[in-house]
């Protein structure tokens, strides 16, 4: 069972916390690359790469939205990591 109190506070991140954040960022970047490849494959399959086109694939559109969210998450985590290390 995990103890209820931790010796480190949110204001004082530990080395282990920074390592976890780095690992999470790396994992998210791998997912981002895979999602980008999936988007490109769907665009090739449909032969439509114009996002503004009405016939742009729904799968590619939803993957783009998810990819944008992942990019935003990676950016926020990177900023937090810079504060940990700074």
CB atoms within 10 A of CB 24: 14
Six token digits for residue 61: 């559109």
CB atoms within 10 A of CB 63: 20
Task: List the end-to-end C-alpha distance of the chain, in Å, as a whole number.
Answer: 33
Question: Which band of pLDDT confidence, cut at 50, 70 and 90, is reported for residue 11?
Answer: low
**What's the mean pLDDT in 12-23?**
79
Distance from chain centroid for Cα 77: 9
Question: Which band of pLDDT confidence, cut at 50, 70 and 90, is reported for residue 79?
Answer: very high
Phi, psi of 13, rounded to the nearest 5 degrees: -65, 145
Q: What is the pLDDT of residue 84?
A: 77
pLDDT tens, position by position, 54-77: 999 999 999 999 999 999 999 999
Q: What is the pLDDT of residue 13?
A: 59
Segment (H or E) for 44 = helix 15-46
Helix (H, G, I), strand (E, B) or coil at 9: coil
Q: What is the pLDDT of residue 3?
A: 56
């Amino acid at each position: 069972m995990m103890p209820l109190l931790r010796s480190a506070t949110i204001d004082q991140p530990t080395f282990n916390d920074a390592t976890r954040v780095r690992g999470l960022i790396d994992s998210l970047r791998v997912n981002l690359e895979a999602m980008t490849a999936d988007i490109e494959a769907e665009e090739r399959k449909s032969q439509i790469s114009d996002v503004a086109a009405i016939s742009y694939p729904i799968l590619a559109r939803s993957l783009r939205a998810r990819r944008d969210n992942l990019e935003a998450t990676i950016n926020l985590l990177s900023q937090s990591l810079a504060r940990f290390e700074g």
